């Protein structure tokens, strides 16, 4: 290596090291732990700007809150980051009024600037939870009370909950497992998976797939802008639509099933002896049923109305470009 090339290389390395040291000096980290005594059902509200939230079941008579603080000065220099960390360690953003607990509610905007707090919280099972994060993941497990969790741009995971679950995120995945209640899930761009749901499901995503495995009756309303829909074990009214993607539904029909996609195939699996009334249409594709059907109306092979097994609940299926198959 020539001398001038070596000199330039040395300058770049030294500059990078200096920037790394400066960045490290500008960052600060701290922790706090608090245990609050409670008696009865807890009403817990948690919020954070760019940190994560984890909530799980612990002692039935207390709420334990562990916070990890990360702060930076940005480009301002100085020791403001460390001052903020020191203050928050001494004065954690925790409020208690009996069984009502608020975590992360900081009214001083300057104190919040360039500060991230992540929370790990253990609570009694009988807890009502409202959790929100600006850009962080959430994981909630084991509560018997209702859960309302939202994130601006992070994933939301809720497991083993004994009441209604509401989960939303602007751009992230939603995962729900083992809920004994109604589920409402929405995301701007991400997949939704809800398994072991013992109740109704309302789910929507701008661009992502939706997977449902239902264990108890309840209406199902799902839609996506572009993605596949897979619904299993359903028993109740179903409305499912996607602009671009396949639809697969398995279960026992009740009320009406209305399934539609602009570009994709639709496959329906029903009990072998269940009767139904079929209205199926496709612009570019075929229509097929595995059982004998009494045809009431047929149009150019692309639209069929008829009854199977003497009729029953309404199965209304449509696709612009794709096949329809009823098994």
Show the tokens assigned to 203. 């789910």
pTM of the complete model: 0.88
| Structure-token match 């097994």, residue found | 309
- Return the pLDDT at 5: 52
Cα 250 to Cα 315: distance, rounded to the nearest angstrom:
12
Which residue, 120, 107, 123, is CA-closest to 33?
120
Let me know if residue 159 belongs to a domain. no
- Return the pLDDT at 109: 86
Burial (CB count <10 Å: 0-12, 13-18, 19+), residue 323: middle
Let me know if residue 267 belongs to a domain. yes
Let me know if residue 238 belongs to a domain. yes
Cα 205 to Cα 177: distance, rounded to the nearest angstrom:
18
Cα 27 to Cα 91: distance, rounded to the nearest angstrom:
19
Per-position pLDDT tens, the chain of length 327: 445 554 554 444 444 444 443 444 468 999 999 999 999 999 999 999 999 999 999 999 999 999 999 999 876 556 899 999 999 999 999 999 999 999 999 989 889 889 999 999 999 999 999 999 999 999 999 999 999 999 999 999 999 999 999 999 999 999 999 999 999 999 999 999 999 999 999 999 999 999 999 999 999 999 999 999 999 999 999 999 999 999 999 999 999 999 999 999 999 999 988 999 999 999 988 999 888 888 877 766 588 899 998 889 999 999 999 999 998
Provide the domain limits for residue 302.
173-327
CB 27 within 8 A of CB 116: no
Domain count for the chain, please give it: 1
- Return the pLDDT at 13: 40
- Return the pLDDT at 260: 97
Looking at residue 113, the DSSP 8-state letter turns out to be T
Q: How many CB atoms lie within 10 A of CB 306?
A: 18
Let me know if residue 14 belongs to a domain. no
What one-character-per-residue DSSP string does 2-55 give? -HHHHHHHHHHHHHHHHHHHHHHHHEEEEEEEEEEE--S-EEEEEEESSS-EEE
């Amino acid at each position: 290596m020539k001398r001038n090339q070596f000199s330039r290389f040395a300058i770049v390395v030294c500059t990078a090291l200096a920037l790394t040291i400066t960045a490290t000096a500008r960052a600060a980290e701290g922790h706090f732990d608090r245990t609050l005594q409670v008696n009865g059902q807890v009403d817990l509200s948690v919020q954070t700007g760019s940190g994560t939230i984890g909530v799980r079941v612990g002692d039935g008579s207390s709420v334990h809150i562990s916070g990890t603080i990360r702060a930076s000065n940005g480009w301002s220099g100085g020791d403001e980051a460390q001052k903020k960390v020191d203050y928050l360690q001494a004065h954690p953003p925790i409020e208690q009024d009996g069984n009502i607990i608020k975590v992360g509610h900081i009214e001083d905007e300057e104190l919040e600037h360039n500060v991230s707090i992540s929370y790990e919280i253990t609570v009694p099972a009988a807890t009502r939870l409202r959790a929100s994060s600006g850009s962080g993941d959430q994981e909630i497990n084991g509560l018997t009370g209702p859960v309302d969790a939202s994130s601006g741009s992070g994933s939301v995971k809720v497991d083993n909950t004994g009441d209604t679950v509401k989960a939303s995120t602007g751009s992230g995945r939603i995962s729900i497992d083992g809920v004994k209640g109604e589920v409402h899930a929405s995301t701007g761009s991400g997949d939704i998976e809800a398994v072991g749901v013992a109740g109704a499901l309302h789910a929507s995503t701008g661009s992502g797939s939706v997977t449902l495995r239902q264990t108890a009756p309840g209406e199902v309303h799902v839609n996506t802008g572009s993605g596949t829909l897979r619904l299993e074990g359903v028993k109740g009214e179903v409305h499912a639509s996607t602009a671009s993607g396949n639809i697969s539904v398995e279960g026992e029909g009740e009320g009406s099933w209305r399934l539609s996609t602009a570009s994709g195939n639709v496959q329906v699996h029903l009990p072998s002896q269940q009767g139904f009334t079929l209205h199926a249409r496709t612009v570019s594709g075929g229509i097929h049923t595995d059982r004998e059907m009494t045809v009431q109306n047929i149009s150019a092979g692309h639209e069929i109305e008829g009854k199977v097994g003497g009729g029953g609940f309404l199965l209304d299926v449509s696709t612009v470009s794709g096949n329809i198959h009823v098994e």
